[in-house]
Amino acid sequence: MKFKYIYILPVVLLLRLLTGCDESFLDVAPTDRINDESLKSSAILFEGYVVNRYMSVRYTEKEAEGTPPGFGRGFEYAMWSSLTDESVYIHDDNSWIVQQGALAPNNTGIAGTLWARSYRSIRECNYALSIIDEVDMEDDYREILRAELKFIRAYRYHDLIRNYGKVVLLGDRVSNLNDDFSDPSLYKKSEISECINYVVNQLDEAAAALPVNSNSAWPLGRATKGAALTLKARMLLYAASPLYNVGTWKDAADAARDVMDMKKYQLYGDYGSLFLDENSNEIIFERLYSVGSNHVCMEIANGPNGYSGWAGNVPLQNLIDDYEVFVDPQTAVPFDTTNPAHVNNPYESRDPRFYATILYNGAEYRGRQVETFLPGGQDTKDGIDNWNTSFSGYYLRKFIDETLPIVNPWDVAGTQPWIYMRYAEILLNFAEARNEDTGPDAEVYAAINAIRDRAGMPDLPESLTKDEMREKICNERRIELAFEEHRFYDVRRWEIAMETENEPAYGMSITKINDTTFTYERIIALDGRRFEIQHYWLPIPLDEIQSSGGLLEQNPNY
C-alpha cells in the first residue's frame, strides 16, 4: 500500500505547481484604463479629462465622420448650411427632411443630435466640477480650469437654447445610473429668459478667470476670456431678438462692446484666407484639426465633379443673389434680377466675398476654369462622375484649401480650423444691437464699414434709416458669415424664416452659346422647400420624450 502512495504524491504536487492556488488569481488589473481615484489623484490626468470636454460623442451615423464632434455641427458631409437657404446637400443624407419641412420628433434628420450630446457633455463637465476641489493643484490654476468647464457647459446650453428654446437647466447635477428617472425635476424646462440668464452668468464667471491670451501655457484651442465674452454677446443678441424677446438690445450691444474694448482682436487682412489660418488674430474661439485628427476632407466632399469631387453642399442662387454688385469702385448696389446688365453678367463686379465663397462658372480653380455650362461643361452632368454634379450650378469655395488634394486626400486633408467665433461676428452683433437700441449712429456705421472695408466693399451710404440699416446689417451678416452656422439661427430669431425658408431652392442653368457668350436660366435645385410655424424650434427627439415617460414637454405644434 505504502508503495502505491508514492505514485500519487508527485502527481498531486505537479498539479499544485501547475495551477497555483493564491487567492489573487482572479484579481486582474486593467492596463488600458483608469478609475475615479486615479483621475482625482493627478492634476495632469484631471486636466486631460477637462480638455476633452471640448469634444463630445458621436450620436448618429451622419456626424463625426472624422474626429468626435465639438460644438454645433462644424465640418461634416452635410453641413448645417444645407438646412438653410445657403446651400443644399446633393446627397440628401437626411438633410432634405429639414429643407422640405418634414422635420418631426420621429424624423429629426441630421438635426437630431444636439440634444443628447450636449447633455452628455454637461454631465461630464458637472462631474469634473464635482471633484475639482479634491484634485491636488495650484488654486489659481484650479480656478482657471473651473472657468473653462463653466465655459464649455455654457456653450452646450447655448447650443441647446438656440435650437430648442426652453431647455432643462440641470445646475451642477450629476445623474447616476441608479437615479430615479421618473423624477419630474429632470424634465422641468426653464423659461428662455432663465436659460439665457444662467448661461450669461456662467460666462461672466468664466470670463473673470479665463486667461486673456493663448500662449504656450494656455494653447490655442482652449477658451479664453474673449471667447466667454463673445458667447455672452451672442446669447444676449439672441435674447433681444424678436423670436426670443427676453432681453434688451442695449445689453446685447454692451456685451459686444466689451469684446471690442478688449482691443485684442482685429479683422484679418484677407477674407479668403482667413478660414485657413488658425493663428489669425480675428479668431476668438476655434476647433483645431491636424493630420490623423482631421474632419471631413472638404476639398473632395464639396469639389466639382470635373475635379473628381462630390459636390456636397452646393451654394444656392438664393445666396448668390444677395452679393452686391459694384456700379463703380465707390458704389455697390444689390443684385437686381430685373436688370439685364446684372442678369447677363451675373459673376462680374460682385462683392469680393462672392469670389472667396463660391465656385461659379468661369472661376479659376486648380489650373482651369470651373465649367458649369451645358453642353459639355466638365463640372456638369456632361463631365465625369456625373452623379456628383451640382444641382445649383455652384460649388463651395469657402474653407477650401487649394494646396490640399481633391483625389486621395484621406491621410492629408481635413485640417482647416472650424471657427466658432470671430471678431467680425462681434462687430455685426454690435452693429445690429446698437442700431436697434439707438438707431444708425456713427458707432453702427463704424462697425459695419470695418467689415465692408476689409472685404473690399465701399462704405454704406450715409443717412440710412434704422430700418434701412437693419436691412443692410442683415444682408451683411448673411454674406460675411455664410456657411458658418449663423443663417439657420438668424432667420429664426429675426422671424423671417417663413419667408426665406419657404422660398424655393434656386440654382442657375447656364447654356454656352459660344466661348464668351452664355445664357442664364434660373432653375429649381430642390423642389418642395417648406417651413412651418413649429420649425422655429427643433423638435425634441421622440425617443427622449418616450424615455421621460411623457414628462418632458415637446416643443409647440409638433
Residues 82-101 that bind other proteins (CB under 8 A): 90-94, 96-97, 100-101
Binders of other proteins in range 309-348 (CB under 8 A): 310
Return the residues of window 467-486 that contact other proteins according to CB under 8 A.
Answer: none
Residue 450 Cβ vs other proteins, minimum distance, rounded to whole Å: 29
Q: Does the protein bind other proteins through residue 30 (CB under 8 A)?
A: yes
Closer residue to other proteins, CB minimum distance, 244 or 289: 289
- Closest approach of other proteins to the CB of residue 146, in Å: 17
The nearest distance, CB 272 to other proteins, in angstroms, is 22
Q: How many residues contact other proteins, by CB under 8 A?
A: 120
- Cα dihedral sign for 385, 388, 391, 392? negative
Among 104, 132, 137, 498, binds other proteins (CB under 8 A): 104
The residue whose grid cell reads 444677395 is 322
Closest distance to other proteins from the beta carbon of 420 (Å): 14
Minimum distance, C-beta of residue 123 to other proteins, in the bound complex (Å): 2
The answer to whether residue 533 forms part of the interface with other proteins (CB under 8 A) is no
Residue 515 binds to other proteins (criterion: CB under 8 A):
no
Beta bridge partners of 507: 523
Give the pairing of strands 505-514 and 373-374. parallel
CB-based contacts of 31, cutoff 8 Å, min separation 6: none
Task: Between 75 and 355, name the residue whose CB sits nearer to other proteins.
Answer: 75
With CB under 8 A as the contact rule, the residue among 184, 191, 269, 381 that binds other proteins is 381
What is the DSSP code (8-state) at residue 187?
A: G
Q: Label residue 421 exposed, middle or buried (CB < 10 Å: 0-12, 13-18, 19+).
A: buried
Distance (Å, whole) CA 310 – CA 305: 6
Q: Applying CB under 8 A, does 554 fall inside the site for other proteins?
A: no
Q: What is the CB neighbour count within 10 angstroms for residue 15? A: 9
> Could you say which residues in the range 117-146 bind other proteins, by CB under 8 A?
117, 119-124, 126-127
Interface pattern 43-82 for other proteins (x via CB under 8 A): --x--xx-xx-xx-xxxxx-----xx--------------
3-state secondary structure 343-407: HHCCCCCECHHHHHHEECCCCEECCEECCCEECCCCCCCCCCCHHHCCCCCCEECCCCCCCCCCC
Distance CA 417, CA 289 (A): 6
What is the nearest approach in angstroms of other proteins to the Cβ of residue 116?
4
Backbone angles phi, psi at 524, to 5 degrees: -90, 125
User: Can residue 446 be called a binding residue for other proteins (CB under 8 A)?
Assistant: no
- The minimum distance between CB 163 and other proteins, in angstroms, equals 14
Is 158:199 a contact under the CB 8 Å cutoff?
yes
Does 524 engage in binding with other proteins (CB under 8 A)? yes
Dihedral (C-alpha) 343, 347, 350, 355: value to the nearest 10 degrees? 150
* Secondary structure of 300-322 in HEC code, one letter for each residue: HHHCCHHHCCCCCEEECHHHHCC
Q: Is 407 in the site for other proteins (CB under 8 A)?
A: yes
Q: Which is nearer to other proteins, 118 or 429 (CB)?
A: 118
Q: Among residue numbers 287 through 306, which ones bind other proteins (CB under 8 A)?
A: 287-290, 292-293
User: Which one among 130, 141, 213, 219 touches other proteins, defined by CB under 8 A?
Assistant: 219
Other CB atoms within a 10 A radius of the CB of residue 213 amount to 11
**Distances from the Cα of 32 to the Cα of 36, 128, 315, angstroms:** 14, 21, 46
Contact between 502 and other proteins by CB under 8 A: the answer reads: no
- From the CB of 317, what's the least distance to other proteins, in Å? 13
Closer of 33 and 263 to other proteins (Cβ): 33
Q: Does 372 bind other proteins (CB under 8 A)?
A: no
Residues from 409 through 438 that contact other proteins (CB under 8 A): 409-412
Q: Pick between residue 13 and residue 333 the one whose CB is nearest to other proteins.
A: 13
Q: Which of 43, 131, 186, 496 binds other proteins (CB under 8 A)?
A: 186
Question: Shortest Cβ distance from residue 474 to other proteins (Å)?
Answer: 29
Q: What cell was used for 526?
A: 430642390
Min separation Cβ 314 and other proteins, Å: 12
In the bound state with other proteins, the residue whose beta carbon lies nearer, of 390 and 435, is: 390
- Site map 4..23 versus other proteins, x via CB under 8 A: x--xx--x---x--xxx---
For 224, counting Cβ atoms within 10 Å of its Cβ (0-12 exposed, 13-18 middle, 19+ buried), the class is buried
Q: At residue 330, what are phi and psi to the nearest 5 degrees?
A: -100, -5
Residues for the chain: how many in total? 558
60: left (phi > 0), else alpha (psi -120 to 50), else beta?
beta
Say whether residue 171 binds other proteins (CB under 8 A). no
All three cell numbers of 72: 454645433
CB of 323 to other proteins, least distance (A): 24
